[in-house]
A and B are shown apart, each in its own frame.
Chain A
Amino acid sequence: MSGDWPLWEVFVRAKGGLAHRHVGSVHAPDQELALRHARDTYTRRLEGVSLWVVRSDQIVASDPDEAGPLFEPAEDKIYRHPTFYDIPDEVKHI
């Protein structure tokens, strides 16, 4: 039965101040039930304070065959890493 339903990607915000993180997906017939299914499947143990669901077929994804041109040029550009200054201990989630 759930094979008849579209797939939705689920994002959970663990607590205020953090970004929503992708945690998995659910099948559901529409957006309201997708939220309920996401709640019942992924936040049963106090995992979150906010939920997003997005139709999986609405996500535009990069083509794995293009991974070379897309990502490899960044490999030898270590100067783009923010590792040349110290981060104070008090600053979290950076």
Chain B
Amino acid sequence: MPSLPPIERDVEKRADKAPVTGAFDDPETEEFVPDPLEDAYYEYLLRLGDDALILGQRLGEWCGHAPSVEVDLSLANMALDLIGQATHILERANNGDGDELAFKRDVLDFRNCLLVEQPNGDFARTIVRQLLYSTWQHMLFEQLVDSPDPFLRAIASKVVKEVAYHRELASEWTVRLGDGTDESASRMRDGLDWCWRFVPELFEVDEKLEQLIGLQTVPDPRGLERGYRTAIGEVLAEAKLEVPADQRPILGGRRGHHSEHLGHLLAVMQFLPRTYPDAVW
């Protein structure tokens, strides 16, 4: 697949800041300095938006393949909720053009966490991934509802209801599969083993996130970790599943260091708009 050039945001910003007068008219023209806060905010939107987009695409892969038609609809509904969230957030990040971000970036430019890009595996692994992500997303968005940023506040108050449902549904299925047959329980254990090493990334704080936390624009995910582990522990206990031992955490998604699975996902997701850029429907 041909790789399109990255979006040159700096160039756009430079154009905005370019002096109206000629360079020789004003010898004290300021040199362009990127606003670090604006950069951190943009980065945060990409992280939230890409999480939703990639998990939505993954769940969409179940369409027509789920264990029953009812489950097919449940998974597709969640996928559509997430793609709707991604649309709002990526549009906000890119002046109304979310498609450009979704379809014209390559793997290294995606900022989703590694958990959401993990392949569906069997239904049990998909449910484990959903439980681990939706529980985190729900706890985060419950706090984003109080953000001083009007956009984050507005999107969070819409999203928090959708995600509460995702979390409940994933919890219900976790209990039924974990406390089901020997085979369903063993598949859930395999799913947990696969997904558990990606949990610490959800609570990772880097320099860019630190800036927004310092301004109290967004919650500090580290403050959510204890409650998260308790909540997951309760669901797993009800499901008669052991909380897996902590493994060496795998990080990097937030910096664009993804697993090999993301490229395959993007190849399917981006094929049409890249091959037929003007296609409409």
Q: Which residues of A contact B (CB under 8 A)?
A: 1-2, 5, 26-30, 32-33, 36-37, 40-41, 44
Q: How many residues of B contact A (CB 8 A)?
A: 13
When the two chains form the complex, which single residue of A2, A30, A32 contacts B70, counting CB atoms closer than 8 Å? A2
B69 within 8 A of A: yes
B77 close to A27 (CB less than 8 A): no
Q: Chain B at the A interface: mostly helix, strand, loop or mixed?
A: helix
Additional A-B contacts beyond A32-B172, A37-B74 (10; CB < 8 A)? A1-B67, A1-B68, A2-B68, A27-B68, A33-B176, A36-B168, A36-B172, A40-B70, A40-B77, A41-B73
Contact of A44 with B176 at beta-carbon distance under 8 Å, contacts A26-B70, A27-B70 already known: no
Given the complex of chains A and B, what is the CA–CA distance between A71 and B68 in angstroms? Answer: 38
- Contact mask B70-100 → A, CB, 8 Å, 1/0? 1101100100000000000000000000000
- Chain A residues, Cβ within 8 Å of B77: 40, 44
B68 close to A36 (CB less than 8 A): no
Interface contact tally, CB-CB below 8 A = 34
Residue in B closest to A37 when the chains form the complex, CB atoms: B70
A36 close to B176 (CB less than 8 A): no
Most buried by A among B69, B70, B73, B172: B70
Closest CB in chain B relative to A8 CB, distance in Å: 10
Most buried by B among A26, A28, A29, A36: A36
Closest CB in chain A relative to B257 CB, distance in Å: 35
Q: Provide a sorted-by-A list of 27 A–B residue pairs whose CB atoms are within 8 angstroms.
A: A1-B67, A1-B68, A2-B67, A2-B68, A2-B69, A2-B70, A2-B71, A5-B68, A26-B70, A27-B68, A27-B70, A28-B70, A29-B176, A30-B176, A32-B172, A33-B172, A33-B176, A36-B169, A36-B172, A37-B71, A37-B73, A37-B74, A40-B70, A40-B73, A40-B74, A40-B77, A44-B73
- Chain A residues, Cβ within 8 Å of B68: 1-2, 5, 27
Closest CB in chain B relative to A36 CB, distance in Å: 6
Closest CB in chain A relative to B207 CB, distance in Å: 41
Residue in A closest to B75 when the chains form the complex, CB atoms: A40
Closest CB in chain A relative to B49 CB, distance in Å: 23
When the two chains form the complex, which single residue of A1, A32, A36 contacts B74, counting CB atoms closer than 8 Å? A36
- Chain A residues, Cβ within 8 Å of B173: 33
Closest CB in chain B relative to A2 CB, distance in Å: 3
Given the complex of chains A and B, what is the CA–CA distance between A37 and B71 in angstroms? Answer: 7
- Contact mask B247-261 → A, CB, 8 Å, 1/0? 000000000000000
- Chain B residues, Cβ within 8 Å of A1: 67-68
Residue in A closest to B77 when the chains form the complex, CB atoms: A40
- Chain B residues, Cβ within 8 Å of A36: 74, 168-169, 172
Closest CB in chain B relative to A10 CB, distance in Å: 11
Closest CB in chain A relative to B71 CB, distance in Å: 8
Q: Which 4 A-B pairs have the closest CB atoms?
A: A2-B68, A37-B70, A1-B67, A40-B74
A41 close to B67 (CB less than 8 A): no
Closest CB in chain A relative to B79 CB, distance in Å: 12
Residue in A closest to B66 when the chains form the complex, CB atoms: A1
